[in-house]
Structure 1
Amino acid sequence: MRKFLSTLAMAAAASTFMSPAPALAETANPFKCQPGEKYVMNVMVSGVEYWFPVYEMFKQAGQQLGCETAYTGTPEYDVNKQIASFDQALAQKPAGILVHPMNSDPFIEPINRAVDQGTAVVTFAADSPNSKRVSFITSDNLAEGTYAADAVAGAMGGKGEYAVLENPGQDNHDKRVSAFVKRMETKWPDMKLVGRAASNQDPTKAYQAVLSLAQAHPDLGAVFMPEANSAIGAAQAAKEGGGKIKVMLADVNAKILDMIKAGEIYGSVNPNQGMQGYMGFMLLWLAKHPELIDPMNDAKRAGSNAMKVPFVDNGFSIVTKDNADDFYWDKYLKRRGTKGIEE
């Protein structure tokens, strides 16, 4: 994508030198927002730290193109309330919305309605593939689950009992868990799945679930969960049980990082959130301005958006004791000198 943007920039520069003088003002910089052109990011559980660096880079990309941006969502883990917040943002007629749909199917109608209204929509981290969204950006959830399984099984010598905590119905979390379990079954046959529990991003539920699982299975050696909140409760339960249960998760926050550094959590696979936000904005902006591209396909004949890019992988990082210091939000925000989601 970087190469693609550089090529476009060079093409724009070339057209500037080749155009007659009166056209210079019009062609000098097509990559610029009109006054009042606004792009919105929308999430559920809006206080979760994961979203903050995503929005930070979403905001930076917007500023570089002279666009307005806003952070929106609902503090609850409730798909209906998130849809209500999405509709509130849509009522302001933004140019585009970057949305993390809590569940795929309930978001089909709201996303389609937004697109029909003229608002571009890109999904991130979780998808609504049957909607009219033009692009989807995420880390490879299957690769994340696969890596986590290899890390845990390798640390246990390829033999032992494990359990998973999950949030049924959330697309990206489901993929991480299913990939984790599948990898264990195919590559690590001596790793035995002894329990599953729905923690639904609730540390208290996760704490109680791990206590129950450990009581029922005294040889439990590891537990994996696809997000950070549950890991806080799971790690506390593991610590109280003597620390023999390895806690592996996806995503990080300050508390998780502290626990990784203290040895209370084994490790985490963390999506590259900044790239998710930055490239998410660029996909969204280009989706709103497809007139800038003229690909050799049937987009015009079919009446579809010429910029449609089904999937972009923003990559992920492996967080351990060795690099945990690089992932603290407060340090990152101080280095950038901004107000984060407040601007």
Structure 2
Amino acid sequence: MKKFIAGLGLAAVLGATAPATAGQDNPFQCEEGETYVMNVMVSGVEYWFPVYEMFKQAAQQMGCKTVYTGTPEYDVNKQLASFEQALAKQPAGILLHPMNSDPFIEPINRATEMGIPVVTFAADSPNSKRVSYITSNNVSEGKYAADAVAEAMGGKGKYAVLENPGQDNHDIRVKSFIARMDEKWPDMKLASRAASNQDPTKAYNAVQSMAQAHPDLGAIFMPEANSALGAAQAAKELGGKIKIMHADVNAKMLDLIKAGEVFGAVNPNQGVQGYMGFMMLWLANHSDLIDPMNDYKSAGFNPMGVPYLDNGFSIVTAANADDFYWDKYLKRRGTKGINE
């Protein structure tokens, strides 16, 4: 992170004398009407809000405009349609969370050919021509979550996972969680796994079935918060002995963590994700500020490409849950979030 920020300072120095910025006192300023879009699936999920809050702040600091777009459904075709709608307005760039990797390859590549850079965040489309990718380290998140659960269980017992097959970041978290258990905690045994697809009802039913098949089930991990809501309800009805560990937080899950009904959560630093996501997107759109010593001109790629930037993450427990409430965050900042 420090190296990247230092790089921005150097780019500003270099850009001050670049031909494309002649006449500008500050090259890090948008042109009038320059607009950047953030596009997501399940647009009402609270996870996106702090990402957009800092995406928006970074844009405002540079005189740019932003738009929050997406679809309320967990439906890749509907998200693709919302992406196309955003693309049709020819924005300066798009910060995208692709629901699935492969369906977005062609739309991202087409956007790139149109001169509209795309930066992915939280989930990736690695085989596309997206210029950069920012996320927390999903492998580390899975490891930390596994260690926390195993230590709380004394390193011995049965666990299960709920998952959303096909969503890149979720798949990595689950795979890493299981791998860590196998490598470091050999007495922790994977009893069951089921696809909940971010549906609390499916998660509730899956946990009930898992517990019936494995009465000694001690913990369940899931890579997002929506499934955790249903899993927590089932665990409570089953006597509260199953530890629920998930990724991402929202107000309901924070309440449950504080009440002791959920064990804990891994939460990416969403604000950093949004702020640095915007900076990478803006620089990709103003790549004349950067002139690296490589073959980008002859090879025809954007010199701003950052294959991967880690925005970091936190472990949320009852001890620090108060620091993660969205309403308190907005009140402190004095803004209206995604409604601005």
TM-score by length of 2: 0.96
Partner of 2:201: 204
Map Cα deviations across residues 9-60 of structure 1 (whole Å, 9 max, x no partner).
45667x69xxxxxx99714111111111110000000000000000000000
Is 1:216 aligned to residue 219 of structure 2? no
Is 1:43 aligned to residue 31 of structure 2? no
| Aligned counterpart in structure 1 of residue 141 of structure 2, from 144, 162, 182 | 144
Map Cα deviations across residues 205-259 of structure 1 (whole Å, 9 max, x no partner).
1111111101110100000000000001101111111111000000000000000
Q: Are the counterparts in 1 of residues 15 and 289 from structure 2 also a CA contact under 8 Å?
A: no
Letter of the 2:99 counterpart? M
Q: Distance in 1 between matches of 2:80 and 2:119?
A: 15
Partner of 2:112: 115
Letter of the 1:142 counterpart? V
Partner of 2:166: 169
Q: Are the counterparts in 2 of residues 165 and 225 from structure 1 also a CA contact under 8 Å?
A: yes
Aligned residue runs from structure 1 range 219-230, under 5 A: 219-230=216-227
Aligned residue runs from structure 1 range 4-43, under 5 A: 4-9=7-12, 26-43=23-40
5+ residue gaps, structure 1: 17-22
Q: How many residues of Structure 1 are paired with residues of Structure 2 in the alignment?
A: 337
Q: Distance in 2 between matches of 1:179 and 1:97?
A: 29
Question: Aligned pair in 2 of structure 1 residues 24, 115: CA closer, same or farther (>3 Å)?
Answer: closer
Q: Are the counterparts in 2 of residues 42 and 97 from structure 1 also a CA contact under 8 Å?
A: yes
Q: Distance in 2 between matches of 1:12 and 1:127?
A: 29
| 1:157 counterpart SS class | coil
Report the more deviating stretch, 48-57 or 333-342. Answer: 333-342
Map Cα deviations across residues 309-334 of structure 1 (whole Å, 9 max, x no partner).
10000000110111100000001011
| Aligned counterpart in structure 2 of residue 272 of structure 1, from 264, 269, 274 | 269
| Aligned counterpart in structure 2 of residue 93 of structure 1, from 67, 90, 98 | 90
Map Cα deviations across residues 137-161 of structure 1 (whole Å, 9 max, x no partner).
0000010011100100011010000
Map Cα deviations across residues 278-328 of structure 1 (whole Å, 9 max, x no partner).
000000000011100110000011111111110000000110111100000
Q: Distance in 2 between matches of 1:278 and 1:331?
A: 19
Partner of 1:281: 278
Q: Distance in 2 between matches of 1:57 and 1:295?
A: 28
Is 1:2 aligned to residue 5 of structure 2? yes
Partner of 1:19: none
Map Cα deviations across residues 90-127 of structure 1 (whole Å, 9 max, x no partner).
00000100000000000001101111111110000000
| 2:86 counterpart SS class | helix
Q: Distance in 1 between matches of 2:338 and 2:163?
A: 28
Q: Are the counterparts in 1 of residues 160 and 193 from structure 2 also a CA contact under 8 Å?
A: yes
Q: Are the counterparts in 2 of residues 98 and 123 from structure 1 also a CA contact under 8 Å?
A: yes
Map Cα deviations across residues 175-230 of structure 1 (whole Å, 9 max, x no partner).
00000001111111100101001111011111111111011101000000000000
Q: Distance in 1 between matches of 2:73 and 2:14?
A: 46
Q: Distance in 2 between matches of 1:288 and 1:5?
A: 14
Letter of the 1:2 counterpart? I
Partner of 2:331: 334
| Aligned counterpart in structure 1 of residue 53 of structure 2, from 52, 56, 81 | 56
| 2:23 counterpart SS class | helix
Q: Are the counterparts in 2 of residues 12 and 27 from structure 1 also a CA contact under 8 Å?
A: no
Percent sequence identity is 77
Is 1:155 aligned to residue 152 of structure 2? yes
Partner of 2:312: 315
5+ residue gaps, structure 2: none
Q: Are the counterparts in 2 of residues 12 and 28 from structure 1 also a CA contact under 8 Å?
A: no
Is 1:325 aligned to residue 328 of structure 2? no
| Aligned counterpart in structure 1 of residue 190 of structure 2, from 189, 193, 198 | 193
| Aligned counterpart in structure 1 of residue 291 of structure 2, from 286, 290, 294 | 294
Q: Please give the root-mean-square deviation of Cα atoms over the aligned residues, in Å.
A: 1.6
Q: Distance in 2 between matches of 1:178 and 1:126?
A: 15
